[in-house]
């Protein structure tokens, strides 16, 4: 017997990774989060997330990092779909398939990216017609970084990172990412930052964005941006993984304009002049064997967006 209605077609959303051009960490708040001032940039390392109507809730992951991603209800994409279903009174389970190429626990917000992609995909699948602002509000419930992965581009984050404001950035920037074998836990890196500060935060008040970084972004010149790259979590990440210090030095010796730990690490992000410099640095860093993988990328790029279905 054929069913009277057909399920909507599966929806696939492409979502970028992020790097923090600036991450200023203020005091620990009463809710356990640190007050932040950050500038995010979305880069073209992508996950693709497909949602399809299914009899039961299910999550599956493919790609080079699949073996270290949970597929149970702790997967952030599952949490995102269930949150949206609960909030909008949708009674339909989905199968979420993640094609993962963003490094896991690498400081590039891969889990947050999958959550953002799932919100955008389920909104389309279920015909909810939510605005970007509404989606970003649900995103903030899932994690501090999640709203930015919906928006993409280059944006400022305040509060715990979830309150976004636009940034005027010209041009495209070329990046080389040195990805480590074993990830770092975000809460552990924040805790190490607190331990190193020992109660004496150099940023006693809520931090403010650096106007020189904003001016550099308006020029579109990577030479202007490189000296402004700042990450208050870098010392903590290097304290937990001293080899990251050597990796940063190697990248600079091989000609990067600037180098920084990406977010809570351990991925190290190098800013380079152009695509040729990105290829040269990728080859040089790969030859050292100091990273699991070295990948070049460009930013800024769009946030989570629906892409045409794959025809296999
Ligand atoms: C460090 C950053 C920089 O963009 O990204 P990652 O490097 O992890 O990708 C973010 O602040 C991570 O954001 P996200 O990964 O969404 O973290 P959440 O789920 O909100 O929080 C996880 C934990 O990190 C710590 N945390 C997070 C954000 C914040 N402003 N202060 C914190 O202290 C808290 O211990 C919190 O329980
Ligand atoms: N969809 C997902 N992709 C990656 N990791 C996930 C996902 N859902 C839950 N996790 C868990 O979140 C942890 C942090 O992953 P991730 O978001 O990639 O790192 P980071 O916070 O450093 O950017 C992982 O170790 C994993 O256990």
Q: Residue 150 belongs to what H/E stretch?
A: helix 146-151
Q: Which CATH architecture has domain 173-299?
A: 2-Layer Sandwich (3.30)
Whole-number Å distance between alpha carbons of 151 and 280: 31
Whole-number Å distance between alpha carbons of 248 and 268: 7
Whole-number Å distance between alpha carbons of 155 and 35: 17
If you take atom 23 of ligand 1, which residue's CA is the nearest one? 187
- Catalytic option among 48, 114, 123, 145: 145
Strand partners, 42: 18
Tell me the DSSP string of 156-212: EEETTTTEEEE----S-EEEEEEE-SS---HHHHHHHHHHHHTT--S--SPP---HH
Per-residue pLDDT 10s for the chain (312 aa) are 444 578 899 999 999 999 999 999 999 999 999 999 999 999 999 999 999 999 999 999 999 999 999 999 999 999 999 999 999 999 989 999 999 999 999 999 999 999 999 999 999 999 999 999 999 999 999 999 999 999 999 999 999 999 999 999 999 999 999 999 999 999 999 999 999 998 676 676 888 999 999 999 999 999 999 999 999 999 999 999 999 999 999 999 999 999 999 999 999 999 999 999 999 999 999 999 989 999 999 999 999 999 997 665
Ligand 2 centroid distance, CA of 220 (Å): 31
**Residue owning tokens 């010796």:** 253
**Domain ranges across the chain:** 11-167, 173-299
Q: What's the whole-model pTM score?
A: 0.96
For the chain, the distance separating the N- and C-terminal CA atoms, rounded to the nearest angstrom, is: 28
Assigned CATH topology for domain 11-167? Ribosomal Protein S5; domain 2 (3.30.230)
Report whether residue 231 contacts ligand 2, using a CB cutoff of 6 Å: no
């Amino acid at each position: 017997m054929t069913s009277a209605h057909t399920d909507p077609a599966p929806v696939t959303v492409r979502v970028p990774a992020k790097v923090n051009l600036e991450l200023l960490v203020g005091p620990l708040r009463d809710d356990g989060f640190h007050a932040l001032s950050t500038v995010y940039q979305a880069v073209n390392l992508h996950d693709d997330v497909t949602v399809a109507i299914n009899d039961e809730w299910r999550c599956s992951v493919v790609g080079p990092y699949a073996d270290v991603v949970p597929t149970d209800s702790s997967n952030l994409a599952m949490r995102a779909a269930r949150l949206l279903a609960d909030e909008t009174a949708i009674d339909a389970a989905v199968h979420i398939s993640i094609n993962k190429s963003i490094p896991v626990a690498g400081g590039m917000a891969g889990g947050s990216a999958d959550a953002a992609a799932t919100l955008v995909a389920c909104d389309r699948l279920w015909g909810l017609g939510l605005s970007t602002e509404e989606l970003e509000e649900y995103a903030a419930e899932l994690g501090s970084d999640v709203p930015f992965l919906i928006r993409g581009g280059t944006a400022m984050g305040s509060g715990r990172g979830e309150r976004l404001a636009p940034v005027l950035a010209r041009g495209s920037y070329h990046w080389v990412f040195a990805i480590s074998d074993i990830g770092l836990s975000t809460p552990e890196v924040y805790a190490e930052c607190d331990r190193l500060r020992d109660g004496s935060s150099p940023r006693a008040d809520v931090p403010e964005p650096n106007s020189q970084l904003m001016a550099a972004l308006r020029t579109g010149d990577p030479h202007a941006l490189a000296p402004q790259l700042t990450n208050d979590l870098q010392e903590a990440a290097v304290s937990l993984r001293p080899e990251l210090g050597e990796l940063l030095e190697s990248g600079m010796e091989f000609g990067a304009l600037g180098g920084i730990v990406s977010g809570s690490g351990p991925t190290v992000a190098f800013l380079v002049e152009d695509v040729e410099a990105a290829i040269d640095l990728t080859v040089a860093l790969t030859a050292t064997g100091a990273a699991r993988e070295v990948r070049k990328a460009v930013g800024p790029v769009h946030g989570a967006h629906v892409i045409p279905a794959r025809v296999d």
